[in-house]
Structure 1
Amino acid sequence: MKIVYVKYFAAALLLIILAGCKKYLDIVPDNVATIDNAFKMRTDAEKYLFTCYNNLPQFGVEGADPGFLTGDEFATVYPPQGNINTDLYRIARGEQNIVSPIANFWDDKFFQAIRECNIFLENVDKVRDLSALEKKRWVAEVKFLKAYYHYYLLRMYGPIPIIKTNLPISASIEEVKVSRQHVDSVFNYTVTLMDEAIADLPAVLPIEFAELGRVTKSIAMSVKAEVLVTAASPLFNGNSNYANLKNKNGGALFSTSASVAKWEKARDACKEAVDACIANGHKLYEFIPRSASTRVSDSTQLLMSIRAAVTDKWNAELIWGASNSTGGGTRGFQSLSQARLSPFTGTIPNESIGSMLAPPLHIAEMFYSNNGVPIEEDKSYPYASRFTALRRAVAGERYYIKEGYTTVQLHYDREPRFYADLGFDGGIWFGQGKNDDNNTWVLEGKLGQTGGRQGASLYSVTGYWPKKLVNYNNAINDPAQQYSVEGYPFPIMRLADLYLLYAEALNEASGPSAEVYQWLDRVRKRAGLKGVVESWTNYSSKPSKVTTKEGLREIIQRERLIELVFESKRFWDLRRWKVAENYLQRPINGWDITQREAVNYYRVRSIFSSSFSLKDYFWPISENSLIVNPNLVQNPGW
């Protein structure tokens, strides 16, 4: 998509006098001729439309997406070695600050995006050769994008200024010095914009016109459901920790009393979105090999139905995919997620395999047992010896672990998503480039083995790899040592995510019910698990958990963390649930990857201790922004 660049008179002025949103709470530029030219003809206006899209977050990019290295799903080599951006990793290590905030989206990104959306909406009527129908659709798309940028900022910073229109050139300095607005007002404005967009968006995209990635009704309704679930969640719904966060005029920015009505509103929005998505052909993904010559076992097919739901591009489960990551955009995180599976035959390592996104040990523990309940609750799982007992894989486990290979108890008797999503020492990795009946590799991760550490970089610091993010069609050409990557749109929203949002909203609105179980069990069935009632009743040491709102809340949250692992969801979910401090201030552990023998390799090793406190629920506003705009107030703790 080609971007239209416009020079604004106000950009220079803002550095001196404008409000704390820096140059992005902008006034309408006086360069009228440039704007008029940008909206003179349809082709020019379409370029500006794509500029509005181009501001979307870089989903799945480790240096730009807070959902990757900012939380606790990944560890990596630090200080950085090799081709990996660890700026956001510094936040997880407690290095966020107010002088030069890391990932400073307040000053550097989304207010600019909102401004460009406003410019489009204020000028689209000038386009001479744009049909009424097409204009209606374009306006709806930009309204959605404008709403999404408000929502993204709201999740990061809490209460933000609402930017309904760009200020005129005649605006006074005081008018420009905007204030933050109550979180409920920002949520309500965001949802109102989305409702306006939904009315005029197409139900489905005309694929023959290569419009994949553009906004549809299904996308807008699903994101609206997520917005309302977020608004109803404890971080924003009755959060007493922010009772004293007020504007300079004394106006409160948070409500301190929780409202069940917010959950009811979220529940209704989720149902409408689910119904719309199903009506428009979305369904949970089931793996079918592209080539008839690709033979897979039933076990492998189950694992690939889980894994390829993310990597099989534009499949029916995907509601909204990041089109800006379809091609080269995914090469970075796929390379960083790919384990080395083929031995080096030359003197120069294959640096296209980065192998540096490393899930910590607590992520491996998070997955259920093969009975579909947490391993710490499973009455038959040897939880106490999960780190210490070594076992040799037998024939019946050969689709998950190499037959005859010795690995730790933690890797045995786990649910299919464990084996679909994680690479580990001794684990089976389905993919191209292997000439056997099942296209399977074996990951050998100890020191001196193919996947183990071989230098100062290009290795997993924990002994785990996020296999889920790697497209199975990527080819490792053995023994040529070439690695080719097939891109895919990073999933911003897929149907399993929406089902789990619906189950959560149902439970919070009215407690456990058959309907809640239904949507949970749809996701679990695709994952090869029995329903929640059957699993907890028969296998859990806490069988009553599934019958109470509090217990089912815990189950739903665990289900989301497992199903959506590595998809930039955990980072936001832990915050909106207001439980991040329970997860993000603990040691980040892995195996002792410097060892060659299993008995020594499978020893827990601490890599670093993650840092999180109450202030970290929201990003800080930079000191400079507060100086420029004295009407702004800082987030608590900063």
Structure 2
Amino acid sequence: MKKINKILVCFFTGSLLFATSSCVKDLLDQQATTELDNKAYWQTEADAVGGAMAMYNNIKNVFHKDYFFDGQGDYVRVRQMSSISSLGTLSNGGAYWTGSTNGHYYPEGYGSSFDNMFRFLFGGVNRANYVIDNVTNMLPRLPAATENLEGIIGEARLMRALVYFRLITMWGDVPYIDKVVVSNNDVTTIARTPIEEIKNHILADLDYAFEKLPASRPPSQKERVTKAAALALRGKVNLYWGSWNKNGWPELVTFVPDAGKAQQAFEDAAADFRKVINDYGLVLYMNGAPGEIDDLGKAAKLPHYYHLFLPTSNANNETIIGFTHGGPGSGVSDKLMRDIGNRETESSEVNVSPNYWLADRYQSTTTGDFLPPMEQLSDRTQDAKYAADAATRPNSALNPQTYLGRDYRMKATILWNGEVVQRLEGLTATALVPYHHGKQGVNNGVRFIDYNGGTNSGYLFRKFVRNYPGQGREEGNMTWPVIRLADVYLMFAEASNEAFGPTSEAVLLVDKVRARGNLPGLKPEKYADRSSFFDAIEQERIVELVLEGHRAFDIRRWRKIEEIWGPPEGLGRFTTNTWGNNVTAYFQNKSERIYEQCYIFKIPQSEIDRNNQIRQNEPYL
């Protein structure tokens, strides 16, 4: 029998009660009840709150870098495995993300690269179970605190539901564990639980959470979940359950889709989302107004959508479930600037950047529809990177004028040639400097952002990049959004469209999301039937939620991988850049098995070796 590695338990003041060590090796490396003397702890309501805060801090580690999941889709490129290996602030010698070639994380072949994610998600399950068990044991001793203690149990059950939902979206059937793991004997005989049974456990947890949680909390407790969070997550679980039953999941061989279950799930999801939208006084950030937008090449005035994703908006943002980070010196800060920012924004690394295709998704503020695809004007007949008139030719991707009159979220999300960003040096703001893909760092005495290594598309992200001084690249206090209100609007529209077809209620909510980009409402032909309205919803999910970790999960449940990249054994698809050069070929001559491995993830071999009741997912046999 293998020895169970222990998790180091430390006591801190404030919300950080425990910290896990980096010695975690497998699913069994969980917090045991014997780690703390219950005679010394779990005695007061304050102890229960502290335990819940420790649980949030532990589970945050597997959600707060969800932007890397976008690299499995078509609109975001991910690079720099050295940073990705510490995803979740866990530097234990292994990486969640290793599906890469030449330092480039590909949207293919990644399904076997998530062993650590599997283990740490189960660590989150165990931490939630630890809180549930210990606070439940407190109830008979503290009858006066019953309501508050049951609320804390509701928080823990919601967190357990959130973690198990992530587990089944990636691996399908997994072992279901609802008690604290203290020895090998607790788990080595547990087979993979059918996904529908786990889904039912998740919904039961969320039913309890909805009943016991408060309707609201003060801003100082923004990380702690509420009734709206329980409903939003319950709706999302049902939406995915409906998608799997409608579209099938052939790589999960134990799953049999059922059209009747799909219909009911979509109806249930729509009902929950409607309550979130109507019953809790929630509003989009700045009431969904687009805000002001500056001229080309200026950034003194950026749309509200940009400010939504800054720590300065945390007090009034629209996040329903989110994980809060501390600021400078806290030890639990976000790493957004390191991964998304560039060298001019305080030595950052551009580990994620937009693919070229994203820019053309931003629609016209006049017509509300797509503009002609931008032209890429490289000139291979000359010894030059692009044609001489590329910066002035109409509709050229290198001509700043091409970007006029587009969805305000474009300026808030990406940088293109000539767009400026705040330069930081020694945490001090120096100047707004322009970005020019492929130019030198200093051009005719004027400083430019020059970062060919971080982007191969000609674009950088502005979204999530702070434009003010005082915080280093790993010192942000952003509340990372797991579910926010705009996402709920779009999920409601999708669920109700699947259940009932387009409705005026759903169209209105999609239009509210579009309005923050200063776009007109959808034209009638965009919601004439289920198919056209689905396309409109998908479009909004792409531009509204980019870099928030949703796209890969969407395209898997919608079975869109072949639609995006072409069929197995085919030509695949080249990414390009603003110059017009082909950059990287994805899914070129890839087998059907590679595609299957993009729809479901590999169970860690170490878990199978330890537990002969666990069978590997079919595409990895």
Q: TM-score, normalised by structure 1?
A: 0.75
Quote the residue 1:67 is aligned against.
69
CA distance in structure 1 between the partners assigned to 2:283 and 2:146 by the alignment:
25
Q: Does 1:366 align with 2:361?
A: yes
Matched, 1:567 2:548: yes
Per the alignment, residue 97 of structure 2 pairs with: 88
**Alpha-carbon offset, residue 41 of structure 1:** 3.6
2:609 to 618, 627, 637: 627
| Unaligned runs of at least 5 residues, structure 1 | 16-20, 247-252, 290-294, 342-349, 434-438, 477-481, 538-543, 592-600
Q: 1:35 to 1:152 in 2, by over 3 A?
A: farther
Q: Which of 479, 490, 494 is the matching residue for 1:489?
A: 479
In the alignment, the residues of structure 1 paired with residue 80 and residue 70 of structure 2 have an alpha-carbon distance, to the nearest angstrom, of 15
1:520 match? 510
SS in 2 for 1:446: coil
The answer to whether the 8 Å contact 1:302/1:416 transfers is no
| Cα distance in 2 between the residues matched to 1:203 and 1:501 | 21
Alignment-derived partner of residue 318 in structure 1 = 319
- Which structure 2 residues correspond to residues 164-203 of structure 1 after superposition, within 5 A? 164-166=178-180, 176-203=188-215
More off after superposition, 128-137 vs 183-192: 128-137
Equivalent residue number for residue 216 of structure 1: 226
| Displacement after TM superposition at 1:280 (Å) | 8.2
| Aligned AA (1:566) | L
Q: Is 1:511 the counterpart of 2:521 in the alignment?
A: no
**Do 1:626 and 1:634's aligned partners in 2 also have CA atoms closer than 8 Å?**
yes
The alignment yields a C-alpha RMSD, in angstroms, of 4.2
Q: Which runs of 5+ in 2 are unaligned?
A: 1-14, 88-94, 379-386, 426-430, 442-446, 567-571
The corresponding residue for 2:146 is 132
Q: Which residue of the partner structure matches residue 347 of structure 2?
A: 352
Deviation at 1:65, TM superposition (A): 5.8
Question: Within 1, Cα distance between the matches of 2:249 and 2:397?
Answer: 53
**d(CA) in 2 for partners of 1:635 and 1:355?**
34
Cα deviation digits, residues 143-172 of structure 1 (max 9, x gap): 111111111111111122322334798x97
2:121 to 97, 102, 110: 110
User: Does structure 1 residue 46 correspond to structure 2 residue 36?
Assistant: no
Please state how far the C-alpha of 1:560 moved relative to its aligned partner: 0.6
Q: Deviations over 1:155-200 (max 9, x none)?
A: 111122322334798x978x85122233222222211211111111
Partners of 2:276 and 2:602 in 1: CA distance = 33
Amino acid at match of 1:120: V
On the 8 A contact 1:504/1:556 being kept in 2, the answer is: yes
Query: 1:406 and 1:123, CA in 2 relative to 1: closer, same or farther beyond 3 A?
Result: closer
1:211 Cα deviation (Å)?
1.9
User: 2:318·2:484 contact (CA, 8 Å) conserved in 1?
Assistant: yes
**Which letter maps to 1:75?**
R
CA–CA distance in structure 1, aligned partners of residues 86 and 161 of structure 2: 31
Partner AA of 1:137 in structure 2: G
> Is the contact between residue 338 and residue 466 of structure 1 (CA under 8 Å) also seen in structure 2?
yes
Out of 404, 411, 422, the position equivalent to 1:419 is 411
1:527, 1:559 → 2: CA distance?
A: 10
Change in CA separation of 1:202 and 1:61 when aligned onto 2, cut-off 3 Å: closer
**Counterparts in 2 of 1:615 and 1:53: CA distance versus 1, 3 Å:** same
Distance 1:281 1:461, change over 3 A: closer
- Aligned partner of residue 637 in structure 1, secondary structure: helix
Cα–Cα, structure 1 residues 406 and 266, in superposed 2: closer, same or farther, change >3 Å?
A: closer
Q: Does 1:332 find its partner at 2:335? A: yes
Paired amino acid for 1:635: N
Structure 1: distance between partners of 2:56 and 2:406: 41
Match of 2:264 in 1: 261
Secondary structure in 2 matching 1:498: helix
Q: CA deviation at 1:73?
A: 3.8
Could you tell me which amino acid in structure 1 is paired with residue 233 of structure 2? V
Matched, 1:241 2:222: no
SS at match of 2:222: coil
Instruction: Determine helix, strand or coil for the equivalent of 1:34.
Output: coil
Q: Which residue of 2 aligns with 1:23?
A: 28
Instruction: Report the secondary structure of 2:303's partner residue.
Output: helix
The answer (yes or no) to whether the contact 2:283–2:485 under 8 Å persists in 1 is: no
Structure 1 residue 630, shift from structure 2 partner? 2.1
In 2, Cα distance between the equivalents of 1:305 and 1:616? 35
CA distance in 2, matches of 1:61, 1:89: 18
**Aligned residue type for 1:467:** R
From 518, 542, 561, the counterpart of 1:580: 561
Cα deviation for residue 95 of structure 1 reads 4.9
Which secondary structure state, in structure 1, belongs to the residue aligned with residue 482 of structure 2? strand
Shift, 1:296, TM fit: 6.6
Contact map agreement 2:294 2:300 (CA 8 A) in 1: yes
Is the Cα contact below 8 Å between 2:334 and 2:478 reproduced in 1?
no
* Cα distance between partner residues in 2 of 1:78 and 1:529: 36
Q: Secondary structure at the match of 1:88?
A: coil
Aligned AA for 2:306?
A: R
Structure 1 584/351 Cα, relative in aligned 2: closer, same or farther at 3 Å? farther
Aligned to 1:206: 218
Evaluate the alpha carbon distance shift between residue 5 and residue 426 of structure 1 in structure 2; reply closer, same or farther with a 3 A threshold: closer
Trace 1:585-596 onto structure 2 (pairs within 5 A): 586-587=572-573, 589-591=575-577
Q: Return the alpha-carbon distance in structure 2 between the equivalents of residues 617 and 335 of structure 1.
A: 29
User: Which of 127, 132, 137 pairs up with 1:121?
Assistant: 132
Residue 522 of structure 1, CA deviation: 0.7
The aligned counterpart of 2:586 is 609
Give 1:231 deviation, angstroms.
1.4
Post-superposition shift, 1:270? 0.9
Distance 2:495 2:314 in 1: 29
> Structure 1, residues 107-158: CA drift from partner, whole Å, max 9, x if none?
x212222222222222224445672232122111111111111111111111
1:149 pairs, out of 160, 163, 174, with 163
* 438, 442, 455: which one aligns with 1:446: 438
Alpha-carbon distance change, 411 to 532 in structure 1, aligned in 2, over 3 angstroms: same
Q: CA deviation at 1:96?
A: 4.0
In 1, are the aligned partners of 2:340 and 2:351 still within 8 Å (CA)? yes
- Tell me how far apart the structure 1 counterparts of residues 59 and 35 of structure 2 sit (CA, whole Å): 26
Q: Deviations over 1:17-39 (max 9, x none)?
A: xxxx841689x75x387244332
1-side partners of 2:55 and 2:361: how far apart?
38
For 1:87 and 1:167, the matched residues in 2 are separated by 23
SS of aligned partner of 2:202: helix
Q: What CA deviation, in whole Å up to 9, does each residue of 1:231-260 have, x standing for no partner? A: 111x354516247x23xxxxxx44354621
